[in-house]
Amino acid sequence: MDERLVAIVGYDGAELIDIACVTTSLGMVSQYGHARVPYRTRLLTLGGRPISLPTGLSLQGGHPLERATGPFDTLLVTGGLGHEEAAGNPLIVAHVRRLARESRRVASICTGAGVLAAAGLLNGRRVTTHWRYAGDMAARHPGVVVDPDPIYIRDGNLITSAGVTSALDLSVALIEEDHGPEMARLIARHLVIYLQRPGNQAQMSIFTTAPPPANDVVRRLVEHVNADLGGDLSAAALAAHAGISVRHLTRLFLTHLGRTPAQFVRDARLEAAAHLLTGTSLPMPAVAARCGFGSAETLRQAFTGKYGIAPSRYRQAHGRL
């Protein structure tokens, strides 16, 4: 094999970052890695026409999607604001389905998973997409197992990734699979990115703060939780604090926060732990105690389960002290 041919399916409304992350990352393998089997990327668009981007720019250099033939090493569908129109276009969907049969592996960036789903390529598969669109995708395609949390998911020869810059994580993962970990580290250094975010790391930023809940009872309980993370924050204790039943408490949290009381408390404690890990030099047992975890090991298990990285490694990578 002289080269790995990667076909990237673009359309009007595609996200430029999704495309550029892949083409730049894979291009660096030949530029800096001197790989014996480099990548060659090919942008496929209907009629080979330029595609318009949401930013007002246009992207040229496309090859006609209708005339493309394999075999391809990788078929990748990009995401973007135009994903719904693309998924509803029978020509795009039919050719994606055809080309998938001529490709060693199939991948999507962000909302590009919706195009793969429309082509019937995700039925029975576990996939991810941008967290904002995951619920809608699951509703439209009940035969697809949509997990909104991971940065990327591999299911056999299928790889789906989350929003925007997760395209870098997917690209580096592909490079490691094809060329080994040393090449992946080399490309990551040139890209100046953190190597290597695990695929199961949560999409949502650890420090993304939700707006205060509209319900007065829930808002007061949220304030109570954040003020006393090391205290008794069991559902029974929270219900007693608010003067309501545990059943009503759970109903309120699910309605206004989308989580059970226990899930909300766990997430609040983990976010506080992340702040302490990066902003203080407290030893791990002290961080665990302040945030309501019984031990450093309990903190480690919960933190790794939620964010895909051990608290000690997170401190090393992001600590400011």
Active site residues: 110
- Which residues does 124 contact at the CB level (< 8 Å), separation at least 6? 143, 144, 145
Cis peptide before 285 (omega within 30 of 0): no
- Which residues does 84 contact at the CB level (< 8 Å), separation at least 6? 114
Tokens 């993962």 found at:
173
CB 80 within 8 A of CB 11: yes
User: Using CA atoms, how far apart are residues 38 and 199, in angstroms rounded to an integer?
Assistant: 24
User: Using CA atoms, how far apart are residues 176 and 80, in angstroms rounded to an integer?
Assistant: 26
Q: How far from 278 is each of 180, 226, 272, CA to CA, in Å?
A: 31, 18, 10
Cβ count near 311 (within 10 Å)? 23
Buried b (16+ CB within 10 A) or exposed e, 116-154: bbbbebbeebbbbbbeebbeebbeebeebbbbbbbbbbb
User: Using CA atoms, how far apart are residues 62 and 93, in angstroms rounded to an integer?
Assistant: 17
CB 73 within 8 A of CB 6: yes
Cβ count near 92 (within 10 Å)? 24
